Amino acid sequence: MENYLELKKLIKKELSYTEYMNITEDLINNTDTSRLNKEDLEIFNYTKLNLQRSERIEKTFVPPKELAELITSLNDKQTWMVITENWCGDSAQNLPYVAKLAELNENIDLVIVLRDSNPEIMDKYLTNGTKSIPILIVFDENGNELFKWGPRPERLKKEILEMKFKGIVKPELYEKLHLW
């Protein structure tokens, strides 16, 4: 288990959720796609789609009453650190929920850390040796790690492993993943 106060020394830059979304919007609005190679264009298109997904969730998600009560009842300060990237489809489907929940309690400080800019941080939170994201790590007011979650719910992780074992290729796998 890591200590946030020590990790903070390694983090190149922390972003608020608003900063993260603004950076993503700026990227979408200011990128000349005619200059992108095939791989970068694919990543750009994922990012654009993810922005739309995130914005939809932001507009429609209302936390269930019991969950909202639980979050608002937290009296101690916490830092919720999410390791992610804006091209990540799983993040687009999860980060807006995390942000909405964090907004419910002023004791929660949500910070976004970009995976690719912070390899030392990501390397501390590998999933089966891979740099899978998003990862949510919750720390108490002293920086002690309380728990981590991610990159996906356990049930979905199992389903993905089964699909990979069956030889389902990436495009079909991604489609099934986003329909889940």
Same domain for 43 and 110, yes or no, is yes
Q: For the domain that residue 96 is a member of, what is the CATH number?
A: 3.40.30.10
Q: Give the residue, 112 or 158, on which the prediction is more confident.
A: 112
Task: Please tell me whether residues 118 and 38 are part of one structural domain.
Answer: yes
**What was the pLDDT predicted at 153?**
63
Nearest to 120 by CA among 12, 5, 26, 21: 12
**Is the domain of 103 the same as that of 18?**
yes
pLDDT at 111 > cutoff 70: yes
The range of the structural domain enclosing residue 177 comes to 153-180
Query: Structurally, how many domains does the chain consist of?
Result: 2
Same domain, residue pair 142 and 159: no
How far out from the chain centre does Cα 95 lie? 5
What pLDDT was estimated at residue 170?
Answer: 64
Same domain, 54 and 125: yes
Same domain, 80 and 57: yes
Residues 112, 179 share a domain: no
Are 159 and 145 contained in the same domain? no
* One domain, residues 47 and 136: yes
Residue 25: what pLDDT?
98
Q: Do 34 and 77 fall within a single domain?
A: yes
Helix residue spans in the chain (DSSP H): 4-7, 17-30, 38-60, 65-72, 89-103, 119-122, 154-165, 170-179
Q: Both 92 and 169 in a single domain?
A: no
Question: Tell me: the pLDDT tens digits for 50-70?
Answer: 999 999 999 999 999 999 999
99 and 159 fall within a common domain: no
